[in-house]
Structure 1
């Protein structure tokens, strides 16, 4: 009669293969999680940069019709598209002899920030509208 007090070599090898496969899956999941956090951080930075460009339009930077592009640093590129949508003159509410109100123009604004992440092109697009005095 044979005494089975220990594990056979085959049992040890099967346990080792199962443990190695589990560790491989664990490391793969951890790597995917780290990549997702990095992607989320780059996207958050792109949104912040796009908001800064949007806030500067019409205040620090003149609002002009057309498409403008540039390098934002850190691997980001920006594109701003400004399109006039409508122009309107408010009804004259001033009493006679008063100052007439100026015409207003509505502009559609699209800001795109793009970057390359792991060989894949990514972009964030913000759209807004601005109401400014019309240029004559």
Structure 2
């Protein structure tokens, strides 16, 4: 009778190995999920900074001159370029302002790997000041 009680009290070596294997797989999946979430957060923060840069540059473009714009610059680790071209899909109404398509490209390096985002919008052409 004592032999049966002693055998029923503990775990077998096989049960312990299976439990450790299950725990290792679960920890590995948790590690991957947390690592992916951290990478995603840094990517979102980086893109948010790019959006702020684009907004600040475009806020300075009140109107596009008739000959268009071509600008380049650098802000922190971001290099940007802005080009405009007349927009051909404008309204047929002659009283409507002419539109220019604005293309802004922002490039940077992310851990040695080049990254780039392109933004396109429309801006009205500057009207000539009326003579006084």
TM-score normalised by the chain length of structure 1:
0.70
The answer to whether residue 32 in structure 2 is matched with residue 28 in structure 1 is: yes
2:57 counterpart residue number: 53
Q: Deviations over 1:102-134 (max 9, x none)?
A: xx6532212222223353524141422223125
SS of residue paired to 1:4:
helix
Higher helix share: 2
Give unmatched runs, 5+ long, in structure 2.
89-93
1:127 counterpart residue number: 121
SS of residue paired to 2:126:
strand
2:71 counterpart residue number: 68
Tell me how far apart the structure 1 counterparts of residues 100 and 78 of structure 2 sit (CA, whole Å): 25
1:17 counterpart residue number: 21
The answer to whether residue 99 in structure 2 is matched with residue 106 in structure 1 is: yes
8 Å CA contact retained: 2:81, 2:104: yes
Q: CA deviation at 1:8?
A: 1.0
Change (3 A) 1:22 1:43: same
Tell me how far apart the structure 2 counterparts of residues 18 and 114 of structure 1 sit (CA, whole Å): 44
Tell me how far apart the structure 1 counterparts of residues 87 and 18 of structure 2 sit (CA, whole Å): 70
8 Å CA contact retained: 1:82, 1:109: yes
Q: Deviations over 1:14-49 (max 9, x none)?
A: 111110111011011001001111111111111111
8 Å CA contact retained: 1:105, 1:133: no
Higher strand share: 1
Change (3 A) 1:58 1:29: same
Tell me how far apart the structure 2 counterparts of residues 130 and 21 of structure 1 sit (CA, whole Å): 58
SS of residue paired to 2:11:
coil
